[in-house]
Structure 1
Amino acid sequence: MQIRKPRVAITIGDPAGIGPEVTLKALRDFETLPCIPLVICRIGVLQKYYQLLMPSWDILDFDQVKSSIDIQKPSFINIHVDAPIPQPSCGSQLTGKESLAYIDAAIDLWKMKIINAMVTGPVNKSLVEKWVPFIGHTEYIAQHIHEDNPRMLMYSGKYNVMLVTTHVPVFKLKDVIGYDVLLQTVTICENSMARIMKKKPKIAICGLDPHCGDQGAIGNFDIDVTSKVIKDAQLKGIIIEGPFSADTIFIPQRWEHYDCVIAHYHDQGLIPFKMLAFDEGVNVTVGLSVIRTSVDHGTAFDIAGKNCAGYSSMKKAIELASYLALKEE
């Protein structure tokens, strides 16, 4: 029996960044992808390139797509934007507004069950925030599908890290992280990694404080909270160890011993991840009903339009979103 390919929406991110370039590069061999890619963009942004790379693709207006829930070939979903075509590297309030329109279109297509998953290109948060409150795709998508427990999983296969918090300032961490949030993160981590790996994962968790509080000399959070969460998770059958000092658990030889490491905050987890897995990394939103992956890099305005951006993260994001969507079929 032939397996039906999932439809995966791919937003190109900020049209003045490297998103358009890495999207088209990742889709050059689209015939081999396990999905039907639907690229959400303003077709004029890609005008120079798509006719050379994908002349057989359909170009559909967004309103046209909303009335056709059975798209069966790769397509560009054209979003109408009343603004000049931006020049590469020239990010502005208008490109922020345009990249937001792409995200909103992907969310709408998911709500209408036209797509099975979405992959998001890189945006500039400060430019998007000129129009709406926006601290990141993860939180924005959760808000607009009315769900409230998203987590960020950075996945490369060899090195994987999940964050307890996403874009929270360091001085607010202890106001946000507590027993319930931490235990919920551990549960989401086990479920998400098991779904990807097809086996029960082995998890490690960092301490929040330096040296896990150094037996109370620095702080008691990891004694009172993190350690209790570990014990209670183990009673539920979750394979988890820790807390470990963040300055040693991410040494490759130790990290490779675990399927995923849970870090408490953004830089605690993403600095080591990007040092070791930048080219292979994928940002996966977990804890929500929507399947969403993303590149693990930004808009890179400084190199946009120079045809030198690496596209492996975008390609892996598309492949992982397709894989997860196939498992849902």
Structure 2
Amino acid sequence: MNKAENIKLGISIGDLNGIGSEVVLKTFEDSRMLEFCTPIIFANVKILSFLKKNLELTSNLHGIDKIDQALTGKVNVLNVWKEGVNIEYGVNDPVVGSYAVKSFVAATDALKEGLIDVLVTAPINKYNIQSEDFHFPGHTDYLGQELEGDALMLMVSDALRVGLLTDHIPVNEIASHLTEELIRKKILTVKKSLAQDFTINKPKIAVLGLNPHCGDNGVIGKEDDEIIKPAIKKLFEQGTLVFGPYAADSFFGSNQYEKFDAIIAVYHDQGLIPFKTLSFGNGVNYTAGLDKVRTSPDHGTAYDIAGKGIADFTSFKEAVYKAIDIYNARNEYKEITSNPLKMK
């Protein structure tokens, strides 16, 4: 296992017209952060130096052309490209979007090759990154293609963990995506992640229903009775502590979520609206189920405040901490499971 400061933490820079660069640079203004990892930002050192000056920040950036040139105790910037980029804060620009993709793809390649240990991604604009070469709804989908495992979006804030059965798909397509096999796979992915990434050996998992009141015995939809309940029942009978489906409208307001180690929502807004309401900007988006560790803040590009120097970097800093924590937890889990004597 690497020593703390030797954990190579890769960072994809996201949309340069948004707040990504600001929250990244602010996070490492505190030199104590360099005691936890060696950051490597996939971007261009001249551009980040310009943005740093514009934001009146003071940390020294160390430009490198190869990852093995990264130095501990420094904020390293890997030059993924050499040319200048026209930055206009708050503008939705497909050219800038293409550089977000360059940064992300290069960082993902480095993660696959083991040149970095974990990846933290700054926010992208899902619209302006689209091209003939890159056609994915977001980070998670691309990582799911490039890395081994079954990618699952898991939002994390302290003891609150909310996973998704489906993520970036239109609401009118959600029901057609639900199958017993999908539900089984996602529940087992969350179960495994809770064990190896969060050191919870016998996790309790709740699953929310799709329809209002979980369908009211078929009056408001049959998916809960015909698809979700049977999948949960089979897994429970096989030893997984999974319960539900629960009516989503009252589950969080009644504090039922506090009884579980993770909650699985059926679709994006069903899970993320209560999560973001409860986490107050401290949440982290973690891509569970993959053979590598990737986290991100729980916010977007925030064009409306970009370049103003007022962006809150708390969620990005938490994403850094969480990536390191999960990386260490996984290494300990592998060590324990490979040596049964340590489990006694």
Q: If the length of structure 1 is used for normalisation, what is the TM-score?
A: 0.91
Q: Aligned AA for 1:216?
A: G
Pick one of 46, 55, 59 that aligns with 1:54: 59
SS of alignment partner, residue 128 of structure 2: helix
Q: Which residue of 2 aligns with 1:14?
A: 15
Aligned residues: 323
Are the aligned partners of 2:284 and 2:297 in contact in 1 as well (CA < 8 Å)?
yes
Matched, 1:28 2:29: yes
Q: Over aligned residues, Cα RMSD in angstroms?
A: 2.1
Matched, 1:124 2:125: yes
Where does 1:60-99 land on structure 2 (aligned, <5 Å)? Answer: 60-61=64-65, 64-65=66-67, 68=68, 72-74=72-74, 75-99=76-100
Q: Which residue of 2 aligns with 1:326?
A: 328
Matched, 1:274 2:276: yes
- Identify if the C-alpha distance between structure 1 residues 148 and 196 changes in structure 2 by more than 3 Å, giving closer, same or farther: closer
1:233-257 residue CA offsets vs partner (Å, 9 max, x unmatched):
2123221211101101122622222
Q: Which residue of 1 aligns with 2:156?
A: 155
SS of alignment partner, residue 53 of structure 1: coil
SS of alignment partner, residue 31 of structure 1: helix
Distance (Å, rounded) in 2 between the aligned partners of 1:31 and 1:59: 20
1:292-317 residue CA offsets vs partner (Å, 9 max, x unmatched):
10111110111000011111110000
Q: Which residue of 1 aligns with 2:105?
A: 104
Deviation at 1:44, TM superposition (A): 2.6
Distance (Å, rounded) in 2 between the aligned partners of 1:115 and 1:196: 18
Q: Which residue of 2 aligns with 1:285?
A: 287
Q: Which residue of 2 aligns with 1:248?
A: 250
Moved more, 235-244 or 70-79: 70-79
Q: Which residue of 2 aligns with 1:209?
A: 211
Distance (Å, rounded) in 1 between the aligned partners of 2:240 and 2:69: 40
- Identify if the C-alpha distance between structure 1 residues 220 and 90 changes in structure 2 by more than 3 Å, giving closer, same or farther: closer
Are the aligned partners of 1:83 and 1:94 in contact in 2 as well (CA < 8 Å)?
no
Deviation at 1:216, TM superposition (A): 1.3
Q: Aligned residues: percent identity?
A: 35
Are the aligned partners of 2:85 and 2:96 in contact in 1 as well (CA < 8 Å)?
no
Gap runs ≥5 in structure 1: none
Deviation at 1:218, TM superposition (A): 1.5
SS of alignment partner, residue 320 of structure 1: helix
Q: Aligned AA for 2:190?
A: C
Moved more, 222-231 or 192-201: 192-201
1:181-240 residue CA offsets vs partner (Å, 9 max, x unmatched):
001111111111223331222211101111111011112211122111221221232212
Distance (Å, rounded) in 1 between the aligned partners of 2:176 and 2:255: 33
- Identify if the C-alpha distance between structure 1 residues 73 and 310 changes in structure 2 by more than 3 Å, giving closer, same or farther: same
Q: Aligned AA for 1:116?
A: D
Where does 1:131-146 land on structure 2 (aligned, <5 Å)? Answer: 132-145=134-147
Matched, 1:222 2:224: yes
Where does 1:308-319 land on structure 2 (aligned, <5 Å)? Answer: 308-319=310-321
Distance (Å, rounded) in 2 between the aligned partners of 1:84 and 1:38: 20
Q: If the length of structure 2 is used for normalisation, what is the TM-score?
A: 0.88
Distance (Å, rounded) in 2 between the aligned partners of 1:20 and 1:2: 27
- Identify if the C-alpha distance between structure 1 residues 290 and 220 changes in structure 2 by more than 3 Å, giving closer, same or farther: same
- Identify if the C-alpha distance between structure 1 residues 48 and 246 changes in structure 2 by more than 3 Å, giving closer, same or farther: same
SS of alignment partner, residue 110 of structure 1: helix
1:136-177 residue CA offsets vs partner (Å, 9 max, x unmatched):
1000122233x4621100110232210001101122122211
Q: Aligned AA for 1:259?
A: D
Are the aligned partners of 1:208 and 1:221 in contact in 2 as well (CA < 8 Å)?
yes
Distance (Å, rounded) in 2 between the aligned partners of 1:229 and 1:245: 17
Moved more, 270-279 or 45-54: 45-54
Gap runs ≥5 in structure 2: 332-344
SS of alignment partner, residue 118 of structure 1: strand
Q: Aligned AA for 1:186?
A: I
Matched, 1:198 2:199: yes
Deviation at 1:45, TM superposition (A): 2.6
